[in-house]
Structure 1
Amino acid sequence: MAIPIALIDAFASAPFEGNQAAVCLLEEKKPEEWMRKVAAELNVSETAFLVKAEEGYHLRWFTPTAEAELSSEATLAAAHFLYERGLLQPQATARFHTRSGPLLARKRESGIQLDFPAEPARQAEAPEELIQGLGLIPRFVGHNRLGYLVEVDSETTVRDLKPDLSLIRGLPALMVMVTSRGRDYDFVSRVFVPANSMKEDSVTGTAHCALAPYWQRRLRKDEMLAYQASSRGGQLRLSLDQQRVRMTGDAVTVMTGWFHG
């Protein structure tokens, strides 16, 4: 059976920007091992697997090596896929049933808006491996279940940073988020994933679930424009409401095809 598949750049306004994600639309649920093999074959940051449900779609995400608990970029790509193919009308809300709970996406004039739980980081003592690995003295270090949030002195420091990932690989962290105020944006960031083979994430909305509440407090703003300054780069429009982060981004389909397996 041929399965429709698309390669989509999420949090991108043009091809070859943002974060790569694949979307597979399934007619029925597939075994976990099969999805793992497909994700490994596609070998992009995350692959989203969609199955139509009574209200919305069941959604699971896989990296090339493991299932992910949450993926904003693959969720954005999945919503873009449904809207672009006419499976959802522009005014309809995309409803996803996931292992992390229900997630919603809505089409806006400025892109597709996701609604995710906030993940505030609490101030924490910086481990020596983090200081040595980044090669700098941070202004602030916070920690949450995602990892470490590190504020540095300037956007130039963020952009020029060349961390020694071998020193931070053993930290209890899924990611290390390095951030500062921006020149043309409210704040900029880069996100390192030391335990992952890709080492640096191109653009990840999940990290902004921690970055947004941090900069909300620092800047006293509920709406912000953020930029993740990786080599591919990507822009996110953020708004906060109580314990939710709404992030809006564009997406671009760069390739479509069929998977025969």
Structure 2
Amino acid sequence: MTTRSQEGTEKAAMRIAQVDAFTTRPFGGNGAAVVLLGGPATGQSLQALAAECAQSETAFLLHLQGQWLLRWFTPTLEVNLCGHGTMAAARALSHWGVLVPGQQMDLHSRSGALAVEQRGAGFRVQLPTGRLRQAPLDPGLDRLLGTPVQQRWTSSLRYEVALAEPGFPLAELTLDQDQLLCRPCLGLVVMQACRAGTAGGESPDYALRFFAPRAGIPEDPVTGSAHALVAPYWWNRTGRDLLKARQLSRRGGRLRLLRRGKDQVVLEGETALVWSGDLLAKLEPGGQPDWEDLLP
């Protein structure tokens, strides 16, 4: 069923917004541009606009055949999953009057249907967890990080994941981007346990950082897909279904992770709307098959 507000978005000029996700204040967390399209546009034009926006991700929304479709582009390529871009899309849809508080909406993507919901001042997004595969320790990774890695994994998202000891100064880590580009992964997650949290406490269970120069992102400030990927490890390690996490980038971010079924995680966090307006540039129409591939 198409609501009146949804019908209006299909006929109106394209909208664009800037949202900072996993933060309560502007210029913190992870920024994403969100574009509400008036019709299908080619991948080339979406990529060009994402490069122009120069955010770690630009999220593109399209209402087609009664469904909401979502794609994400870094400045250099399209990705199959983006947590903060999904949360930013939910905040933008709420701002534009499409997502009603307390209402759950599915956004259909290359990773399936992603449920989003506004709960009070925050938002929830449901993502697949992905799969971690235990991998042998690698002396080259130890040299890159400047510390012995306790455990190492590869993953279904093409992220390499490294577990550092709790005392390692993760917030101060600086990586050689050229060396990182030589590693066979799309991105590198470096994580560590924090002081044990409690159900009502504020201390995080774990912290991480994420580096992805192959995707045009030297460091991503807060990475929902990385947290979704490692959540099962921390659920099993802590024995709890609700986790608190931090990302120790310069901008920083906080989020909560709730187990949902066998292979799903709900990410919960706050957002800050920085600006919203009309997109005056014209995008090249087309690419409808790419969009129709997202339909359920």
Shorter-chain TM band: over 0.9
Partner-residue secondary structure (3-state), 1:78: helix
Partner-residue secondary structure (3-state), 2:75: coil
Aligned equivalents of 2:107 and 2:188: distance in 1?
A: 28
Task: List alignment gaps of at least 5 residues for structure 2.
Answer: 1-11, 196-202, 282-296
Question: For this pair of structures, how many residues does the alignment match?
Answer: 261
Aligned equivalents of 2:106 and 2:72: distance in 1?
A: 15
Q: 1:155 to 1:203 in 2, by over 3 A?
A: farther
Following superposition, the deviation at residue 105 of structure 1 comes to: 0.6
Residue 129 of structure 2 contacts residue 230 of structure 2 at CA under 8 Å; is this kept in 1? Answer: no
Q: 1:99 and 2:99 equivalent?
A: no
Partner-residue secondary structure (3-state), 2:179: helix
Partner of 1:47: 58
Task: List alignment gaps of at least 5 residues for structure 1.
Answer: none
Residue 135 of structure 1 contacts residue 163 of structure 1 at CA under 8 Å; is this kept in 2? Answer: no
Residue 120 of structure 1 contacts residue 214 of structure 1 at CA under 8 Å; is this kept in 2? Answer: no
Q: 1:10 and 2:21 equivalent?
A: yes
Following superposition, the deviation at residue 164 of structure 1 comes to: 2.3
Partner of 1:190: 209
Partner of 1:22: 33
Residue 150 of structure 2 contacts residue 164 of structure 2 at CA under 8 Å; is this kept in 1? Answer: yes
Partner of 1:153: 165
Q: 1:5 to 1:20 in 2, by over 3 A?
A: same
Identical counterparts, % of pairs:
35
Partner of 1:37: 48
1:195-240: CA deviation from partner (whole Å, max 9, x where unpaired): 2443111001000122211111111111100000100011110011
Pick the structure with more strand per residue: 1
Aligned equivalents of 2:111 and 2:133: distance in 1?
A: 22
Partner of 1:167: 179
Aligned equivalents of 1:110 and 1:243: distance in 2?
A: 27
Partner of 2:68: 57
Residue 102 of structure 2 contacts residue 118 of structure 2 at CA under 8 Å; is this kept in 1? Answer: yes
Aligned equivalents of 1:29 and 1:194: distance in 2?
A: 29
TM-score, scaled to structure 2:
0.83
TM-score, scaled to structure 1:
0.94
Letter in 2 for 1:190: R
Following superposition, the deviation at residue 3 of structure 1 comes to: 2.1
Partner of 1:223: 242
- Higher mean C-alpha displacement, 3-12 vs 85-94: 85-94
Q: 1:87 and 2:98 equivalent?
A: yes
Aligned equivalents of 1:232 and 1:56: distance in 2?
A: 34
> Residue 142 of structure 1: which of 153, 177, 189 is its match?
153
| Cα RMSD after superposing both structures | 1.7
Following superposition, the deviation at residue 157 of structure 1 comes to: 2.2
Letter in 2 for 1:66: L
Partner of 2:270: 250
Partner-residue secondary structure (3-state), 1:75: helix
Residue 51 of structure 1 contacts residue 59 of structure 1 at CA under 8 Å; is this kept in 2? Answer: yes
Letter in 2 for 1:28: G
Q: 1:7 to 1:155 in 2, by over 3 A?
A: farther
Partner of 2:231: 212
Residue 76 of structure 2 contacts residue 216 of structure 2 at CA under 8 Å; is this kept in 1? Answer: no
Residue 77 of structure 2 contacts residue 215 of structure 2 at CA under 8 Å; is this kept in 1? Answer: no
Runs of 4+ in 1 over 6 A off after TM superposition: none
Q: Which has the larger radius of gyration?
A: 2
